[in-house]
Amino acid sequence: MAFFLETLIGGLMAGMLYALVALGFVLIFKASGVFNFAQGAMVLFAALAMARFSEWFNAALGGDSLLLANILAFIASGGVMFVVAWVIERLALRNLVNQEGATLLMATLGITYVLEGVGQTIFGSEIYAIDVGMPKEPVMMFENLFEGGILINKEDFIAALIAAALVAGLSLFFQKTSTGRALRAVADDHQAALSIGIPLNRIWVIVWCVAGIVALVAGIIWGSKLGVQFSLATVALRALPVVILGGLTSVPGAIIGGLIIGVGEKLSEVYLGPYVGGGIEIWFAYMLALVFLLFRPQGLFGEKIIDRV
Amino acid sequence: MIYRENGQFKTSYGADQQIFPIAQDRWAVLAIIAFAFIGVPLLADEYMFRAILIPFLILSLAALGVNLLVGYCGQITLGAGAFMAIGAYAAYNFLIRIDGMPLLGALILGGLTSAAMGILFGIPSLRVRGLYLAVATLAAQFFWDWAFLRIKWFTNDSSSGSVSVSNLDFFGWTIDAPAEKYLFCLGMLVVFGLLAKNMTRASIGRQWMAIRDMDVAAEVIGIRPMWAKLSAFAVSSFFVGVAGAMWGFVHLGSWEPAAFSVDRSFQLLFMVIIGGLGSIVGSFFGAAFIVILPIFLNQMLPALGGLFGVSISTAAVSHAELIIFGVLIVFFLIVEPHGLARLWATSKEKLRLWPFPH
């Protein structure tokens, strides 16, 4: 029982991390109808920027204040992500308005290549570490309830808390601010939003910026967990089933989907994996999402798809 | 002036429905095919065959298959690499497990296995569509990546997971020289290209296109979506599977599951979209673009650096390749979202009126 709970909690926390990446997909899809394959590359780019800036600032400050260096690096990386968002909107997306979904998807794949190339050219292509002072040691909990207690990774726990805070903040931003309202209007109907005077291009820059910041947070958390390296870009592929499971247009869907996928992956790997040779978590998530889709084609919380002739 | 159809009268239904109704097109295509069969083997050297021509032919075949599904039936797939893998491994198993299995038989059976799997993984398309479907097809990709890596039976229990095929024997013709491989691939491509072209002109292709344009409307006018979508998945997977088997047998010789990774799927989709959705000739353009561009960049960049007196490291070259490749893709999508095939059609239209455009 304790082992099961341990796996379950581990899955939930891994799920929050997936949700963090999935959130970036959802934000951009909601506002511009672009299925942004470049989210993974953005995570890598942001993490690379963060790792290197932190290193450089730390060296410049003489190495006595890691916290200050990290804060400066965070601000600088945020600035870099803003520039990235602006360039993508200006050079690519603005010229691709009204294209089909598949074309936009391919364009973001092209952007992926550019981001990977530029990121590694500027920041280097070695493996870097991000040290933001996340505690690494696991803690025991509920020792009075179960024999031996449950081992919980503190780092995952904090990451999950950050993810939750980010989601809450984003929900507030979407619901309560006028920019958020404009974003939702654009998501509903581009033309209607334009006709009441919402500047579409600026909204898109904002959305890509927000997605860039989300990518930065995801990059920091994933980066401090796994190290900043090229394989970070493939995190996007792990997050895709989360997105379609939760529904492409739903922020809470990304979270719930992430939790379901995280738990499903961990439980399947632990209880099913040994029978079939292990390593099944990557496709199991997709299969899980597929089965969900067969019953709810729009995902758990996606908008209902209505067809008219 | 030259490219003009004045005086070419169609006097029968057959003449009206032929693939190339304009005589100049007909002759040009025949000339290209003749050149490909006779001229190219005389002119090309071994490097050309190995690095460019054979990959181009095989990937054209795969892109053709993907185009039937994505371009004609409108079902986006990101799992094409998996179906190449299924074709390759199935053909391999048929070849080694059944005595006296001819090469062509193994290729066709590999394609049929891939088609069966295509139907299975096409079932979600009956419920989901568009981008949801694209992600759903990734399930096939990751599942088969895993299966060929972990299930030893597929790879004939080889310890490293890599399998190899030697002694390609096509009804007594031993295919081993690069030029022979090229001719074999070319022959297959011509047959399958003709097949694909005729399918898209026939009832089945029209059903696919109706489904692509609007599936609810197609259903209303009496097209069975299940039949149309699953047949598109089956035919497309068959093409892709045969291409995969040829990629393994003819091009690589020995291969590992990594040869058919998700990058391959993306690459095939790129070919189709850059080449032109819903265009047979577009598949060839797309394949040529995607095969040749990286090789070109790889050769050009160090030379270009040398021109300006800068020596570029290999890492920088590979990064620059990524950047230029990505930029070119975005650029092409912006300039001509309908692909190279549309550019081709426009230029043909211009040529018809030349030199008096008004």
Rounded to an integer, the average pLDDT of B123-145 is: 86
Please, which pLDDT band fits residue B197 given cuts at 50, 70 and 90? Answer: very high
- Identify which of B269, B326, B334 has the shortest CB distance to residue A113: B326
Q: Extract the tokens encoding B277.
A: 């959705």
Out of A106, A115, A283, name the one closest to residue B142 (CB). Answer: A283
Dig out the tokens for A103 from the structure: 């074309």
Eight-state DSSP code of residue B162 = -
Contact A102 B138 (CB under 8 A): no
Q: Which helix (H) or strand (E) holds B170?
A: strand B168-170
DSSP A150: E
Q: Which residues pair with B174 in a beta bridge?
A: B169
Residues 6+ apart with CB under 8 A from B165: B92, B95, B248, B249, B253, B254
Structure tokens at B260: 């058919």
- ipTM of this complex > 0.95? no
**Per the omega criterion (within 30 degrees of 0), is the bond before B337 cis?**
no
| pLDDT exceeds cutoff 80 at B358 | no
Longest CA span, chain B: 69
Q: In chain A, pLDDT over 90 holds for what percent of residues? A: 8
Q: Which of residues 177-236 of A touch B (CB under 8 A)?
A: none
Rounded to a whole number of angstroms, the distance from the CA of B90 to the nearest CA of chain A is 20
Q: Which residue of B has its CA nearest to A29?
A: B131
Q: Which residues fall within 8 angstroms of residue B321, CB to CB, at 6 or more apart? A: A117, B294, B297, B298, B301
Closest CA to A85 of A32, A129, A121: A32
Which H or E run includes B63?
A: helix B54-67
**B181 residue type, one letter:** K
Size of interface A-B (CB pairs under 8 A): 142
The beta-carbon neighbor of B124 closest among A243, A282, A290 is: A290
CA-based nearest residue in chain A for residue B129: A297
Indicate whether B41 pLDDT > 80.
yes
Residues from chain B that touch A116, judged by Cβ atoms under 8 A, are 319, 322
Instruction: Using the Cα atoms of residue B339, residue B344, residue B349 and residue B350 in order, give the sign of their dihedral.
Output: positive
Interface contact flag, A117 B131, Cβ < 8 Å: no
Residue B315 dihedral angles phi and psi, to the nearest 5°: -60, -45
What whole-number distance in Å separates Cα of residue B275 and Cα of residue B13?
31
The confidence score (pLDDT) of residue A149 equals 62
- pLDDT average, residue stretch A26-32: 82
Give the residue carrying structure tokens 């011509």: B190
- Pick A294's closest partner by Cβ from B127, B319, B328: B127
CA distance B97 to chain A (A): 24
Question: 3-state DSSP call for residue A151?
Answer: strand
The amino acid sitting at A177 is: T
More confident site: A61 or B193? B193
pLDDT digits (tens, 9 = 90+) for B298-317: 888 778 777 776 766 777 77
pLDDT above 70: residue A145: no
Mean of all residue pLDDT scores within chain A: 83
Residue with tokens 């190495």: A63
CB atoms within 10 A of CB B325: 19
Task: Search chain B and give the residue with CA nearest A248.
Answer: B132
**pLDDT score of B356 more than 90:** no
**Whose CA is closest to A216, among A176, A162, A161?**
A162
Residue with tokens 């390749």: B321
The yes/no answer on whether domain B39-353 falls in CATH 1.10.10 is: no
Structure tokens that stand for B323 in this block: 């950047």
The residue length of chain B stands at 358
Q: Is B333 in contact with A96 (Cβ distance < 8 A)?
A: yes
Contact residues for B180 (Cβ-Cβ < 8 A; gap 6+): B173, B174
What is the rounded CA–CA span in Å between residue A209 and residue A83? 8
Residue B287 has pLDDT above 90, yes or no: yes
All structural domains of chain A, each given as residue ranges with its CATH number in brackets, are: 2-295 (1.10.3470)
The CA–CA distances, whole Å, from B103 to A156, B165, B172, B175 equal 53, 11, 10, 10
Q: How confident is the model at residue A135 (pLDDT cuts 50, 70, 90)?
A: low
- Give me the mean pLDDT over the A5-34 stretch: 83
Better pLDDT: B88 or A21: B88
Of the candidate ranges A11-15, B9-13, B269-273, B305-309, the one whose mean pLDDT is the lowest: B305-309
Whole-number Å distance between alpha carbons of B61 and B189: 6
Q: How confident is the model over B66-90, as a mean pLDDT?
A: 93
From residue A257, how far is each of A141, A187, A234, B127 by CA, in Å? 26, 21, 18, 19
- Report whether B185 contacts B57 (CB < 8 A): yes
Sign of CA dihedral B92, B97, B103, B108: negative
Of chain A residues 87-116, which have a CB less than 8 A from chain B?
Answer: 91-92, 95-96, 99-103, 105-107, 109-116
Which pLDDT band holds residue A164 (cuts at 50, 70, 90)?
A: confident
- Mean pLDDT (whole number) for B105-110: 93
CB count within 10 Å of CB B20 equals: 13
Residue A141: what pLDDT?
A: 63
pLDDT interval class at A62 (50, 70, 90)? confident
**Cβ contact (<8 Å) for B142 and A282?**
yes
pLDDT higher than threshold 90 for residue B295: no
A24 — alpha (psi -120 to 50), left (phi > 0) or beta? alpha
Q: Which of B120, B27, B108, B88 is nearest to B261 (CA)?
A: B88
Nearest to B327 among A99, A114, A294 (CB): A114
Beta strands per DSSP E along chain A = 138-141, 150-153
